[in-house]
Amino acid sequence: MQGQKSYTKPHGGGWFSWELKFLGLFLGLVSFFNLVFIHNVSALFIPTLSASVDQANLQVNGNQVIKSTTQTTELPLNFTVNTNNRTGYTATISAETNNTSLSNSASSTGAKISSISSSAELNDLPNNTWGYKFGGTSNYAPIPALSSPAQILQTAGKTNGNESNQLSIGMKLSDNLESGNYTNKLILSFVSNPYQMRAVMTTGQDFNTRVGGLDQNQTFEHGIGKKENIKHIKYSLIAPTPADNAISIEDADSDYGIKAWFSSSDNTLYYNTPAPKIFLNPNSANMFLYFTGVIDIDLSHLDSSEVTDMHSMFFNMKALKELDLSHFDTRKNTNLASFFGGDVSLQKINLTNFNTENVTDMRVMFYGLNSLQTLDVSSFNTKKVTMMDSMFYELSSIRKLDLSNFDTSQVVSMPTMFAGDVMLDDLNISSFNTSKVENMSRMFADCRSLTTLNLNHFNTENVNNMASMFNGMTNLASLNISSFNTQNVRDMSGMFSQVQKIEHLDLSHFRTDKVTNMGSMFHQMIALKTINLSHFNTSNVTDMSSMFLMDDNLTELDLRSFTTPKVENFGYMFGSFTTDNRLTRIYTSGDWDISRAATTGIVAPKNVLVFANRVNLVGNNGWSSSTPNNVGLEALRIDRPGAPGYFTLRS
């Protein structure tokens, strides 16, 4: 500390000390500038702020530093802040004056330890200099002068009790430092950030419950009130009267009251606040969920800039026809799951300024928008999205969907993404990066109008589920999946079921080592003439039921790579519903193992009608049956004298 006695040392070093001074000026600023009058909620809100440091005076023995290997020292100190201010606080640091050096007042030569002039790590500091660093950074910064203090921290909300942060002082000394006492003072200043009064809505779910209760004649579906008598939602410039029986819908932290009331005479829900606008709650999930009777909604007085969760916000608003969200600020939002899901009457959506850069969940976002004929998502930024399950599911009136701007590099889940888009005939997914996707089940199921689909750019190495991926694509005539890596797929059931225009299918590149379910995999591919399954490994498959059911244009099947040690269900595997079919030969490398199937039992639908109506099918030795519906598992073998079967040996 200042005034400490100095002792001469052989190489010129000496004791020095310095003082860190903490001033409480912020207390006056807080109490004076942040008095806030609150309308209709409470009489007075006074932001408070307290701060402390764990070491107000620090001393260093200069000789010990000089004798050390690096000739450096680092002095940590912690400061603690506690504030209820909703906009947080700002912390700054500076020297007490514009002199930023540690000065030796007794020196006749003006000896000092200067502030560093630029950022540097501790070992790189020039000799006889000092600096500071904050938080986890490794570099030290120059000591700021009083005239230009440095901001070290600015928060955006109240603290969670006492919050601590670390500040470190670092210096490097050399043995040419004049003996003496070196001092200076640092000022840490903490000031609460400016605060503006706001009206803040209650949470989305609480809004839904409270406001929904105003419709006393509503019915319920799945335990959720449908609020079908509320036809309009409007902002009122006039505050409610006592006769309106208004309810409060503001958040506990709101500075203004927000009122809502229902007028049965015009079936309108009104809301009002004395504030210029209403900030939606950060959690606005489920806000208008199941407002099934609402035809129009006025959102013009709502500010969404603080919302982080909007999932199911407009879900199942079945009567809503138009929604303009062009003024919605969604930059903080992370969740848009089920956002518009079930809005079956919605014909127009304005998403012009939608900012989705922080969204991670878009599941079921546009599900069931049956009346929507056009959808523009060109403004969407999907770089952080991980889930797109059923995102465009059952957009049954959409003909064109351009997703060429989509970044799907982080997406892990895409099941049912386009399923049920029965009118869609123009789909651009050329930008899709599927390297992390694990689930593609029913991804394109029932896209009945698509005639071509090029997925040559798809990386499927991590996909484990392709069940019904192309199921029901009845007009698909061209499919490019030559890039598919199926090494981790476990479920291929129904994958190509009812793909009715494809005549030739080459799956020789498929790896099926891990697949357990191939049930209905090629079911009802009625145009199929040839299929290449030459590298299929079926050693882990347990279900082959209906695998080739109704593939009536196939004349032969080469299944030489097939083994069946784990198959429990062969039901309808090669069957047809008509005798007008062409299958004549099934080639295998030997008899099939039916032991697991026999143990499972022959009870419909398992292991029955395996060869139903295959009247043209002939075995290796010429055997056939005029009643194939009565032929059982025993025919899954090479036909030979004394052991009739439907298989033909091909080595």
Map 189-219 to HEC letters.
EEEECCCCCCEEECCHHHHHHHHHCCCCCCC
390: left (phi over 0), alpha (psi -120 to 50) or beta: left
Is residue 634 assigned to a domain? no
Residues 141 and 74 in one domain: yes
The reply to whether 122 and 260 lie within a common domain is no
Determine the pLDDT at residue 452.
98
Q: Is residue 567 part of a domain?
A: no
Note the pTM of the prediction, 2 decimals.
0.79
Which H, E and C letters describe 58-71, residue by residue?
A: EEEEHHHHHHCCCC
- 124: number of Cβ within 10 Å: 12
For the CA atoms of 295, 301, 303, 308, the dihedral, rounded to the nearest 10 degrees, stands at -30
Instruction: Give the 3-state secondary structure of residue 15.
Output: strand
Find out whether 374 and 366 touch, Cβ atoms under 8 Å: no
Dihedral over Cα of 221, 222, 225, 230: its sign: negative
Domain boundary among 135, 161, 192: 192
478 burial (CB, 10 Å; 0-12 / 13-18 / 19+) is: exposed
On whether the CB atoms of residues 238 and 270 are closer than 8 A, the answer is: no
Answer yes or no: do 188 and 220 share one domain: no
Supply 588's token pair.
């295998």
Domain membership of residue 264 (yes or no) is yes
Residues 212, 299 share a domain: yes
On whether both 185 and 228 belong to a single domain, the answer is no
Give me the residues of the chain with pLDDT under 70, please: 1-45
Whole-number Å distance between alpha carbons of 451 and 24? 74
Distances (CA, A) of 220 to 225, 290, 573: 4, 10, 45
**Total domains present in the chain:** 2
236 & 89 share domain: no
Residue 262 counted as domain residue? yes
Q: What is the pLDDT of residue 420?
A: 98
162 and 244 inside one domain:
no
pLDDT for res 317: 98
Q: Is residue 556 part of a domain?
A: no
Identify whether 379 is part of a domain.
no
Range of the domain at 220: 198-304
**Same domain for 135 and 241:** no
CATH of the domain at 23: 2.60.40
Contact in structure between 90 and 193 (CB atoms under 8 Å)? yes
Q: Are 54 and 152 in contact (CB under 8 A)?
A: no
Query: Rounded distance, CA 561 to CA 534, Å?
Result: 6
Predicted local confidence at residue 36, as pLDDT: 34
- The DSSP bridge partners found for residue 643 are 640
Specify the DSSP class assigned to residue 569.
B
Clarify whether residues 286 and 178 are in a common domain: no
Single out the residue in 276, 304, 332 at which a domain terminates.
304
Residues 214, 133 share a domain = no
Do both 83 and 223 map to the same domain?
A: no
Q: Are residues 158 and 214 in the same domain?
A: no
Yes or no: say if 182 and 113 are a contact pair by the CB < 8 Å rule.
yes
The residue from 159, 192, 225 where one domain ends is 192
Let me know if residue 253 belongs to a domain. Answer: yes
Residue 250, C-beta contacts closer than 8 angstroms, at least 6 positions apart: 41, 199, 200, 201, 202, 256, 257, 258, 273
Rounded to whole angstroms, how far apart are CA atoms 302 and 412?
34
291, burial (CB in 10 Å: exposed 0-12, middle 13-18, buried 19+): buried
What phi and psi, each to the nearest 5 degrees, are found at residue 27?
-60, -45
pLDDT at 45: 63
* Structural domain includes residue 236: yes
Q: Are strands 504-506 and 530-532 parallel, antiparallel or unpaired?
A: parallel
The 3-class SS string of 378-409 reads CCCCCCCCCECCCCCCCCCCCCEEECCCCCCC
